[in-house]
Amino acid sequence: MKINPQYKLRKVGGMNIVVSTAGMDFQGIITVNETAEFIWRMLEKGAEKQEIISALAAECNEQEEKIAPDVEEFINKLKGAGIVE
């Protein structure tokens, strides 16, 4: 999986905001928290879902089974919005 190159994550005023470099028209602002930023950065590198789950579990000192549903939900939302290819 990989982030669509038309989208970038930018820090604005201390918030992580998804912006479109293709001039796409959003119906609002997409902001992400630190956990979502971690997942985003892994996706930018082309990481697969299980790799992201393992890395995030290690980063948060948490069990993979506990965080997997949240990671899957976030990735599915990105896919649904056309942000992940």
- The domain ranges of the chain are 7-80
Rounded Cα gap, residues 11 and 2, in angstroms = 20
CATH number, domain 7-80: 1.10.10
Q: Each residue's pLDDT tens digit in the chain (85 positions)?
A: 999 998 999 998 889 999 888 766 656 678 899 999 999 999 999 999 999 999 999 999 999 999 999 999 999 999 988 899 8
Residue 4 CB burial class (10 angstroms; 0-12, 13-18, ≥19) = middle
pTM: 0.87
